[in-house]
């Protein structure tokens, strides 16, 4: 769908909070995120003519530009290695880990795990952190995440599953350490 420059500009500017949020969580650093977002918008404004508005809107397109710009920086700075094929295989093989975590966390009081969860997300390897954030915070569908990262949907799913398994394991440990489970009705009536 064709659109005018002002309409395009309004559309991309409306996504600034989302773009900045992802930049911040990827870089884990305010000034770097600021810089990365400016680079992203510069690239986006240059590439206006190539944008076609589809049903997903402009956000996946912008986030793909952001992701490419970020990866270029990572590559140049060698900040953090991305997941390898071996890591993907490990993700597939560890399917059973979710079972333990899922059961242990069934009645966890999620309101009390915020800080621990935040740290755990930030500690995820970049490849896993990326898919988790796109899915959880931005609410992206698997197909959109695959487009943003230019990878097959199967890889998105295995990375997302691995990310969640790692997080659930950490939260499960926390639940065990601190007894962060909701009080059962029987306990309340017994007071």
Partner 1 sequence: MNEVPSELDLMAYADGELDAAGQERVRQYLATRPEGGRKVEAFKKLQQAGRRVMSDVAVPAGLLDRIAELDEPAPRPIWRIGYLRAIAAVLIVALGTFLVVRNAPTPVVQGSPLVTAQFVSSASKVHINCARDAEHFAAGFPRKVQELPGSLQTYLGHSAKCPDLSDLGYRFNGCGPCRIPGGKTAHLLYQSTQGKGPISLFVQADEGQLPLEDHKVYLARDAVDGTEMIVWRGHGVVYYLVGENDEQLATAAREMGVKVRI
Instruction: Say which residues have a Cβ less than 8 Å from residue 125's Cβ, sequence separation at least 6.
Output: 80, 83, 87
Nearer CB in complex with partner 1: 5/84: 5
Q: Residue 181, SS3?
A: strand
Token pair, residue 55, equals 């049903």
- Asked if 157 is part of the footprint of partner 1 (rule: CB under 8 A), the reply reads yes
Closest CA to 64 of 164, 163, 138: 138
52 DSSP assignment: -
Dist. CA 60–CA 20, nearest whole Å: 14
With CB under 8 A as the contact rule, the residue among 36, 58, 146, 167 that binds partner 1 is 167
With CB under 8 A as the contact rule, the residue among 32, 34, 88, 173 that binds partner 1 is 34
Binding residues for partner 1 (CB under 8 A): 5, 9, 13, 16-17, 20-21, 24-25, 30, 34, 37-39, 41-43, 45-50, 61, 64-65, 68, 72, 95-96, 98-99, 101-103, 105-106, 108, 110, 113-115, 117-118, 121, 132-133, 135-137, 139, 141-142, 157-158, 160-161, 164, 167-168, 171
């Amino acid at each position: 769908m064709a659109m005018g420059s002002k309409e395009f500009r309004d559309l991309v500017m409306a996504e600034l909070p989302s773009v900045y949020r992802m930049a911040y969580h990827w870089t884990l650093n305010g000034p770097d995120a600021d810089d990365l977002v400016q680079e992203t918008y510069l690239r986006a404004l240059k590439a206006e003519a190539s944008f076609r508005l589809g049903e997903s809107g402009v956000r996946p397109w912008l986030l793909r530009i952001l992701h490419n710009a970020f990866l270029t920086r990572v590559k140049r700075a060698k900040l953090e290695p991305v997941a390898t094929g071996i890591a993907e295989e490990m993700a597939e093989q560890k399917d059973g880990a979710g079972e333990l975590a899922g059961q242990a966390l069934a009645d966890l009081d999620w309101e009390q795990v915020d800080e621990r969860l935040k740290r755990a997300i930030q500690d995820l390897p970049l490849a896993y952190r990326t898919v988790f954030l796109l899915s959880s915070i931005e609410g992206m569908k698997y197909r959109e995440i695959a487009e943003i990262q230019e990878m097959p949907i199967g890889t998105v799913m295995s990375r997302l599953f691995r990310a969640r398994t790692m997080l659930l394991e950490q939260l499960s440990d926390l639940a065990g350490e601190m007894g962060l489970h909701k009080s059962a009705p029987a306990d309340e009536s017994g007071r």
